[in-house]
Structure 1
């Protein structure tokens, strides 16, 4: 199944299977996990929303925005349209590199949750409906991200997961998910890794544009626009990638084991491809920096995208594997500020060498293994099969709550409780009241 017509039928089949999850009920483990995905995504967006860029972006709102009714994830921010809220909230969620994801490879949650949340809020849908729509959208996104392998330098934001967002939004707004998804697939945003390397913060809008596009696709559908079912196969099977696992599109869905259960949550404020190495360093004893003569990072081919030295800015630093290792060696910590750019870290990063280990390569993508060797008079070595937070080594509910509270700040405890009880709320508009009252 490699022709665009056959791939279009596969995408249609994926959507058809996913929408059977809506309106639920969800199996208990799926329900609990999906609640954590929604809450974690909201927390990451709140944290990113405090950056100077996002603060100024909210203040630079163009005049004439009609029908405000959707919550912007920033304490005290005025409501806006569903499309604008989805854009702002997903864009904010890209800033700190703490959004959840899946292998291989993408970040469905930050594409889907802000769009679905805005749609559910303005339509006054129940929390249970929001949750099942998110799981359905995630299923579509995961199948697409598995079926296609992107050709570098294409980056996985702004497109395939946005089709899943469109499915979730269509379900909540009672429109045809096939038609809406086809429109979203016809109008994607396709960024490249180079922007991350340079530190071009405009790339943070890619997920925002995809979330916004999911809602706009409903408006276009209602206006009589049509999408191309072959767009996904043509763009991601021929132009920017190739179909490598097309059977993932048509695989039978087990409602007790949807794709959302196989995600990962992030602990470190850096690209996920650095997390195995960060965990390995944190497991080593502290070493005086002046004694370190060299550092080896042995990893998989996929992670070579980050085998580069950072440009002097915070975004670029978060997309440098040598920088992430050096920052962790220097600070022995993993806070948001750990991975901000600092010249002493950049100097140590020049002693870090990254290579592919064939033994580790064989484990990818089922696992995300990394081995770090530090030469500091003696040889110190540590390996991880998967970063902490991967579904093979999941974070606990308490760890996810602690991450949320650190990011959400003042309204955190009350908002966490509302989000974890989301599926018991008859109107999603009430869930975010702690933010509007802040």
Structure 2
């Protein structure tokens, strides 16, 4: 069975890697451009955190200010350049710091496992934008189907291993290498990742997606050096959790790629919070007098999958993002779900004890197509409730290009550290940057793509 499962994945990779820019519909290329622009914005904002800035400054990474042939740009303040594998690792790591990277149900975040690798390689090789967009779509398809197939144990996290196979697919397309050879190598070096790191707030967890991107890029390096790999090695570990292996045999059709069924995130927290937060804000809007401290109880009813984060957090800004009660309390007290709202606050943590969470079997029957949530807010004299079927940004509740542009601009204008254009013109510069990234298919040379950098 292991060989058969590996063969099915390799066949999927072969068919996905056969996608061509000429065969990609315009609306699909447009959507890939939005995924790219959104991912770059999220990575750039994460790259301004203290940890990533310090990491990029470490001499062992070998980043330099001056561009050299076959290098790529980091998104860290300082406009550093480096080998594609290092840049993909650094940008991929930055992309999960704020929990704003897009995703796919029933689990996983394909773009942040594919885009950093594909972008770094495309820039280093001078690939065209249409080639980059096609490679992203193909790598996303492979990663998304892997995330979709496997129902992992409750303690095991999907980041850092499946995504590397998608990254290697994209890299192979951009470098004209054998995609099966590359995914075999990427599949030989997966990480063992667990949810407990999210709960504790262990920020090294953010390197998981960075590792997957680096593994994808290094697969090409290792292949050129004569190394071989074994996808069976990875599949032999996870085959017992293959709940839906039939997804690998489905046709790869440019009209129905899974990247079109993604979701974009507008709350700086784990995606399992998002329906609840939308319902919370809708219910809160109905209160005539908005004094959060007058709230005595908040009852949350949602799908069982979301109960994974029904827990109180450790006192740090990563753990708070993986606590549904804390996320609810933070949104109500701060009036926002932007990154700053999830900085640890003891008062918010105490308020989170007023939040109760329960699963509803009727809602469970709708998962994963829907992730319903009902929130009831109670004060001494009043009660309001609201229900949503999916959060804003899910493909069933699509957002506009303008919504994503506003997220990009606001996120980077608010991010700590230098921002493009200085204080006077930064929003306009960021707007132009987003638009250029979203129109990636029209770009002749990815080395010329504008990236949000203090130097611009």
Using the size of structure 1 for normalisation, the TM-score is 0.95
**Are the structure 2 counterparts of residues 117 and 63 from structure 1 closer, same or farther at C-alpha, using a change threshold of 3 Å?**
closer
Distance in 2 (alpha carbons) for counterparts of 1:436 and 1:428: 19
Alignment correspondent of 1:28: 26
Alignment correspondent of 1:345: 348
**SS at 2:374's partner residue?**
strand
Q: Does 1:426 align with 2:444?
A: yes
Instruction: Pick from 185, 209, 212 the counterpart of residue 211 of structure 2.
Output: 209
Unaligned runs of 5+ in 2: 414-418, 421-429
Q: CA deviation at 1:435?
A: 3.1
Instruction: Pick from 75, 79, 82 the counterpart of residue 80 of structure 1.
Output: 82
Report the count of equivalent residues: 433
**SS at 1:150's partner residue?**
coil
**Counterparts in 2 of 1:38-437, with a 5 A limit?**
38-62=36-60, 69-238=71-240, 242-284=241-283, 285-286=286-287, 287-377=290-380, 378-409=382-413, 410-411=419-420, 412-432=430-450, 435=453, 437=455
Verify the 8 A CA contact 2:30 2:439 in the aligned structure 1. no
Distance in 2 (alpha carbons) for counterparts of 1:304 and 1:234: 29
**SS at 2:318's partner residue?**
helix
Distance in 1 (alpha carbons) for counterparts of 2:451 and 2:357: 47
Verify the 8 A CA contact 1:127 1:424 in the aligned structure 2. yes
Verify the 8 A CA contact 1:14 1:143 in the aligned structure 2. no
Distance in 2 (alpha carbons) for counterparts of 1:231 and 1:49: 33
Q: CA deviation at 1:127?
A: 0.6
Distance in 1 (alpha carbons) for counterparts of 2:454 and 2:311: 42
Distance in 2 (alpha carbons) for counterparts of 1:332 and 1:13: 48
Q: Deviation above 4 Å: which 4+ runs of structure 1?
A: 63-68
**SS at 1:311's partner residue?**
coil
Verify the 8 A CA contact 2:303 2:367 in the aligned structure 1. yes
Q: CA deviation at 1:227?
A: 1.2
Instruction: Pick from 9, 12, 23 the counterpart of residue 11 of structure 1.
Output: 9
Instruction: Tell me the alpha carbon deviations over residues 186-238 of structure 1, each in whole angstroms, 9 at most, x when there is no partner.
Output: 10122111111111101000000110111111111111111113134212223
Q: CA deviation at 1:59?
A: 0.9
Instruction: Tell me the alpha carbon deviations over residues 83-111 of structure 1, each in whole angstroms, 9 at most, x when there is no partner.
Output: 11001101011100000000011001111
Distance in 1 (alpha carbons) for counterparts of 2:33 and 2:213: 19
Unaligned runs of 5+ in 1: none
Verify the 8 A CA contact 1:86 1:115 in the aligned structure 2. yes
Q: CA deviation at 1:74?
A: 2.7
**SS at 1:136's partner residue?**
helix
Distance in 1 (alpha carbons) for counterparts of 2:408 and 2:452: 15
Q: CA deviation at 1:408?
A: 3.1
Instruction: Tell me the alpha carbon deviations over residues 152-188 of structure 1, each in whole angstroms, 9 at most, x when there is no partner.
Output: 2111211112210110011101110111011111101
Q: CA deviation at 1:339?
A: 1.9
Verify the 8 A CA contact 2:168 2:186 in the aligned structure 1. yes
Relative to structure 2, which stretch is displaced further, 213-222 or 418-427?
418-427
Relative to structure 2, which stretch is displaced further, 166-175 or 369-378?
369-378
Instruction: Tell me the alpha carbon deviations over residues 391-430 of structure 1, each in whole angstroms, 9 at most, x when there is no partner.
Output: 1001110000001112333431232132122111111000
Relative to structure 2, which stretch is displaced further, 421-430 or 41-50?
421-430
Q: CA deviation at 1:436?
A: 7.5
Distance in 1 (alpha carbons) for counterparts of 2:187 and 2:451: 33
Using the size of structure 2 for normalisation, the TM-score is 0.92
Relative to structure 2, which stretch is displaced further, 254-263 or 328-337?
328-337
**Are the structure 2 counterparts of residues 162 and 370 from structure 1 closer, same or farther at C-alpha, using a change threshold of 3 Å?**
same
Verify the 8 A CA contact 2:296 2:354 in the aligned structure 1. yes
Q: CA deviation at 1:56?
A: 0.7
Q: CA deviation at 1:63?
A: 6.6
Q: CA deviation at 1:433?
A: 6.2
Verify the 8 A CA contact 2:73 2:87 in the aligned structure 1. yes
